Amino acid sequence: MLSKKSQYAFKALTYLTERFNDGPVLISEIAKKKKIPLKFLENILLELKKAGILDSKKGKGGGYFLNKSPEKIKVATVIRLINGPIAMLPCVSLYFYERCKNCNEKHCGLHDMMIEVRDATLNIVENRTLKDLIV
Amino acid sequence: MLSKKSQYAFKALTYLTERFNDGPVLISEIAKKKKIPLKFLENILLELKKAGILDSKKGKGGGYFLNKSPEKIKVATVIRLINGPIAMLPCVSLYFYERCKNCNEKHCGLHDMMIEVRDATLNIVENRTLKDLIV
DNA sequence: TTTTAAGTCCACCGAGTTGGTAGAGTAATC
DNA sequence: GATTACTCTACCAACTCGGTGGACTTAAAA
């Protein structure tokens, strides 16, 4: 399951995608419209900014905005950033790989199955962007 | 990601699948062979027993064993039992469904995408059993 | 019938994560 | 210089995860 934080992140990003090219959007506006706790949203947006997905402007007329166009921000990137690994096991993760202690990965049925699951998931989330999330 | 508990559960179940029809297997044997902390494994096996997947026998010659044949125990069942929802969002979960507070589910791109992910995953884990995990 | 092997059960624990809040600081604009 | 709005640090409660300790119960064998 995606954490609440991830769910909030996607709501906020969806909102910023709809507002893309409208200039900076206030944190408070996003929080209000998307019903996200304000201070918690601050943390999330800051994290997204540090990762280069968002940028911000201080002072009057300031706020947050997407740093690239929505079709260049992959869903998979956001999940990995806020939620962590997409794979179900560390030993089948591409970005968070860890060797499996007690199976040799060559003859492990669970391993093989989880690779299939990972690929089926990646096939979707690697090929969708924020733009695909607005209907 | 599957929790460590889930990973241990699968290791133990794999072992019991290999030993199916050999009679009860000691917790201590499973723990040793699969390198799982003994007391933690106790909890896991007990939980699997309460769910009807395993059964046990007390006293000398006792131990744990599968309650049904391995090809009748689906991977999806074990994941849901020990790890929880398979879906990435509560609003697209079949067994742990919760209504989405801030999207109407009819016009939510994230929702639609996560249904695809769920189905791709279920297509694999609903059609595999413990028997498929041994190679 | 006593011993003993083995599972059962329950309480507890430390560390980390999640979800969230408070408030001072800093930068940009008017 | 006042105002606006993001930045940053610190903090918090609740929960989960991974794990332990120990008393209890059952059942079989001696």
Residue type, A135: V
pLDDT at A102: 66
Strand bridging mode B63-66 / A63-66: unpaired
* DSSP-derived secondary structure for A76-126: HHHIIIII--SSSSGGG-SSS----SSS-SSS-HHHHHHHHHHHHHHHHHT
In a domain, A71, yes or no: no
The nearest CA of chain B is from the CA of A108 a distance in Å of 7
Q: What is the pLDDT of residue B102?
A: 65
Name chain B contacts of A7, Cβ cutoff 8 Å: 89
B35, B55: one domain: yes
Provide the pLDDT for residue B95: 92
Nucleotides, chain C, CB distance < 7 Å: 4-11, 17-23, 26-30
* A135 domain residue, yes or no: no
Query: What distance in Å separates residue B60's CA from the closest CA in chain A?
Result: 29
Q: How far apart are CA B127 and CA B130, in angstroms?
A: 10
C1' of nucleotide D27: residue with nearest CA: B59
Instruction: Dump pLDDT digits (tens) for A9-22.
Output: 999 999 999 989 88
Name the domain boundary from A36, A66, A96.
Answer: A66
Does B34 share its domain with B77?
Answer: no
How many Å does it take to go from CA B5 to C1' D21? 20
Domain's final residue, options B66, B84, B101: B66
Residues A62 and A92 in one domain: no
Task: Please indicate, yes or no, whether residues A13 and A59 belong to a single structural domain of this protein.
Answer: yes
Number of domains comprising chain A: 2
pLDDT at A104 over 70: no
* Closest alpha carbon within chain A to B117: A121
Is residue A79 situated within a structural domain?
A: no
Q: Which domain holds residue B114?
A: 72-133
Last residue of a domain, one of B35, B66, B97: B66
Mean local confidence (pLDDT), B4-11: 92
Q: What is the pLDDT of residues A32-87, one digit of tens each?
A: 889 899 999 999 999 999 999 999 998 888 999 999 999 999 999 999 999 999 99
What mean pLDDT do residues B41-70 have? Answer: 89
Confidence of residue B86 (pLDDT cuts 50, 70, 90): very high
Query: Are B61 and B102 within one domain?
Result: no
Q: Are residues A92 and A62 in the same domain?
A: no
